[in-house]
Amino acid sequence: MEDKVRARVDEWLEERRRKGLERETVCFSSAPELLNLSNNDYFRLANDERIKASAKTAIDRFGCSSSASPLVSGFTPPHEQLLEDLLDWHGFEYGMLWNSGYAANQAVLSSLPKNDDWILADRLAHNSMLAGALKSAGRLIRFPHNDLERLEELLVEGAEKGKTLFVAVESVYSMDGDLADLLALSKLKSKYDFVWILDEAHALSWYGERGEGLAAELEVDDQVDILVGTLGKGLGSSGAYTLFHDEFLKRFFTNACGEYIYSTFFSPASAAAASTAVSILSEDSASCQRRAGRGLSESFRKCLRSMGIETSEGDSAVVPVVLGDSRDVLEARRRCEEAGFRVGAIRPPTVPKGTSRLRLSLNATLGMENLEGLIHVLEGV
């Protein structure tokens, strides 16, 4: 190994370690005594018997792997069925499946914007969108989080300069749990000409009459040009999708994106599991759970605020507990775990400096009584 490379890497790692920012992969085996509030399984579908049964049936018929990229022979009947189910669920005309939300966002944002185009992205938009935008030939301009006045200024300026404009936002921000103002964005969309890319990763299952997301709930979905959804969160599976109203987008991404063309497709079993998730989330009983989950989120946030804890507004499943210092967050996570709660410890650069936090993910099977022990620990941090 070249010594210079080792020295450079060692120095970089040491700096991260000193600041309490070094990341490590730790095997998590779901201990029954721990209540897991750290994942994104908002409807607890990953272990649902109906979902597991459909995955097992697909394994028996199609094996454990798609064994090829989608354009070769990896796009199997369960994938085809899933795409049909997703189009029907969302009421979109065209769609594609992807191996992950990361791949989908990166592919869309790196391939579509060309020279001189402006990509206007919320400052807190997911890393996959920013990574894609930075790889593209366009220019990435980040506007302050949820600051639509600033976005409008940029849209005006871009239009005056004759730029082709893209706007990239999430409906529920993954680390803050707050919502984008999709109604205001749809008004901007009626006023200005831009390509609207909306990532619904953390809104699926939790919002929408049938769990199909916030754009549908607010009836702005016909304005969204590219809707990105993930299957590994509220749908309890893995993989992702993009939906469009225009066929040319599907044809373009199918031909332009290495993430799609040159990667073994996600498994038929995951596709079958996601199809079953769509049908479960569309049931009336899921609507009741959805209402209860959102009610719980509001009550829990109110309770945190009454204890002087900083959190975000709204009723999403993602509840941040902002503590500021990274080491305090690691200590708080340890104390939560001692009390029986697995929570996420989120530190820079995932979130801005000085805003390290616990990230609590609620799910639709919980009630306030399940969170009492956690509230007790949080009172002490």
Ligand X SMILES: Cc1ncc(COP(=O)(O)O)c(C=O)c1O
Which residues are part of the catalytic machinery? 40, 126, 170, 174, 199, 202, 233
What is the nearest approach in angstroms of ligand X to the Cβ of residue 301? 20
Q: Determine which residue in the list 230, 297, 316, 355 makes contact with ligand X, applying CB under 6 A.
A: 230
* 144, 120 contact by CB (below 8 A): no
**Cβ proximity of 104 and 98 under 8 Å:** yes
Number of residues that bind ligand X (CB under 6 A): 14
| Interface with ligand X, residue 232, by CB under 6 A | yes
Neighbouring CB atoms inside 10 A of 349's CB total 9
What dihedral do alpha carbons 97, 99, 101, 104 form, nearest 10°? Answer: -60
x-or-dash string of contact with ligand X, 300-339, rule CB under 6 A:
----------------------------------------
DSSP assignment letter at 370 = G
Question: DSSP secondary-structure letter at 209?
Answer: T
Rounded least distance, CB 380 to ligand X, Å: 29
In one-letter notation, the amino acid at residue 216 is A
- Closest separation in Å from C-beta 259 to ligand X: 11
Chain position whose Cβ is nearest to ligand X: 101
For residue 101, state whether it binds ligand X (rule: CB under 6 A): yes
Exposure of 358 by Cβ count < 10 A (0-12 exposed, 13-18 middle, 19+ buried)? buried
DSSP summary character for residue 84:
H
Among 76, 100, 267, 311, binds ligand X (CB under 6 A): 100
Q: Which is nearer to ligand X, 314 or 373 (CB)?
A: 314
- Which two three-digit tokens encode residue 377? 């620990």
Rounded least distance, CB 146 to ligand X, Å = 15
Residue range at the interface with ligand X (CB under 6 A); choices 22-30, 101-109, 265-273, 366-374 = 101-109
DSSP-assigned letter for residue 221: G
- Quick note: the x/- pattern for ligand X over 170-209, rule CB under 6 A, is x---x------------------------x-xx-------
Count of Cβ atoms closer than 10 Å to residue 30 Cβ: 10
- Segment interacting with ligand X, rule: CB under 6 A, options 100-108, 116-124, 131-139, 241-249: 100-108
- Select 202 or 347, whichever has its Cβ closest to ligand X: 202
- Angle among Cα 51, 56, 59 to the nearest 5 degrees reads 130
Footprint (CB under 6 A) of ligand X, residues 103-132: 105, 126, 128
Single-letter residue type at 214: L
Choices 10-18, 97-105, 113-121, 318-326 (CB under 6 A): range interacting with ligand X: 97-105
Q: Where are the alpha helices (DSSP H) in 148-306?
A: 148-160, 182-191, 214-217, 247-256, 258-261, 268-281, 284-306
Closer residue to ligand X in complex, CB, 105/136: 105
Question: Least distance to ligand X from the beta carbon of 92, Å?
Answer: 18
By CB under 6 A, residue 133 contacts ligand X:
no
CB of 326 to ligand X, least distance (A): 20
Taking alpha carbons only, the member of 83, 79, 84, 85 closest to residue 61 is 79
Nearer Cβ to ligand X, position 224 or 378? 224
- Looking at the Cβ atoms of 105 and 276, the one nearer to ligand X is 105
240-269: contacts with ligand X (CB under 6 A): 240
Alpha helices in the chain (DSSP H): 3-18, 49-62, 77-90, 101-111, 127-135, 148-160, 182-191, 214-217, 247-256, 258-261, 268-281, 284-306, 326-338, 372-380
Q: Which residues bind ligand X (CB under 6 A)?
A: 100-102, 105, 126, 128, 170, 174, 199, 201-202, 230, 232, 240
